[in-house]
A = this chain, B = another copy of it.
């Protein structure tokens, strides 16, 4: 039934521990809707009616948030198997809290929220697993938001950059690494203006703290960088 998206399905944490057979039964019950989108097309619009938990089957989407002043903040870049709108599925006010844009042509599956939590008899085991998975995922999402808060509460631009670089360094476990965001995306992520980001990065380069060309970055003075976080 959903064979062509095996990739997206198998990568999705929501279905972790559920066999392909059981999954088919689950889908018969949940009746997901599947849509396709072109690059830059709007998948969801913040404030509009909630259409259910979104799961990217193929392609890539950007999850963004706009405040009243019109500042856009990137919350996530999601690929196959990754979800969005999971927070609103069980505790929302029925509207999308985020806007989602197709970063590349993509296929997205929407699961009706109410059906995940309801208890039908024949799917008991899978349902239980589904709910437990959901719990783990939503907790994880909350922690991501929490981490995002850490960035936004840093006041100095240099502090934000330093924190970001140190996290990337910790993840790569190497002083040379490539970041996945373009400059203006990074600026959005850190909630600063693009020219200001560029200016400060070049200053740090001129001071010998780091080097970069394009998205490839090399930390030159790790200790100096750590002190800039504060």
For the complex, is A88 an interface residue (Cβ under 8 Å from B)? yes
Shortest distance from the beta carbon of A12 to any chain B beta carbon, whole Å: 16
Cα–Cα distance between A217 and B206 once the two chains are bound (Å): 50
Contacts of A229 in B (CB 8 A): 68-69
Docked-complex contact B149 and A65, CB < 8 angstroms: yes
For the complex, is A145 an interface residue (Cβ under 8 Å from B)? yes
Tell me which of A68, A73, A155, A156 has the highest count of chain B C-beta atoms within 10 A of its own C-beta: A68
| Number of interface residues, chain A, beta carbon within 8 A | 44
Q: Interface segment, A17-25, A89-97, A100-108, A173-181? A: A89-97
Tell me which of A73, A135, A136, A140 has the highest count of chain B C-beta atoms within 10 A of its own C-beta: A135
Docked-complex contact B152 and A152, CB < 8 angstroms: yes
Shortest distance from the beta carbon of A95 to any chain B beta carbon, whole Å: 11
Within 8 A of B (CB), among A61-98: 65, 67-71, 73, 86-92, 97
Chain B residue with minimal CB distance to A191? B153
CB-CB contacts of A215-230 with B at 8 A, as 1s and 0s? Answer: 0000000000000011
For the complex, is A163 an interface residue (Cβ under 8 Å from B)? yes
Cα–Cα distance between A67 and B230 once the two chains are bound (Å): 9
Contacts of A92 in B (CB 8 A): 139, 143
Cα–Cα distance between A191 and B90 once the two chains are bound (Å): 29
Contacts of A69 in B (CB 8 A): 153-156, 159, 229-230
Contacts of A67 in B (CB 8 A): 150, 153-154
Contacts of A191 in B (CB 8 A): 152-153, 155
When A and B form their complex, which 6 residue pairs have the shortest distance between CB atoms, in order from nearest?
Answer: A91-B139, A145-B145, A152-B152, A87-B142, A91-B140, A142-B142
11 pairs of residues in contact across A and B, judged by CB atoms under 8 Å:
A65-B146, A65-B153, A67-B150, A67-B154, A69-B155, A69-B156, A131-B131, A141-B142, A145-B145, A152-B152, A152-B191
List chain A positions with a Cβ less than 8 A from chain B: 65, 67-71, 73, 86-92, 97, 117, 128, 131-132, 134-143, 145-146, 148-150, 152-156, 159, 163, 191, 229-230
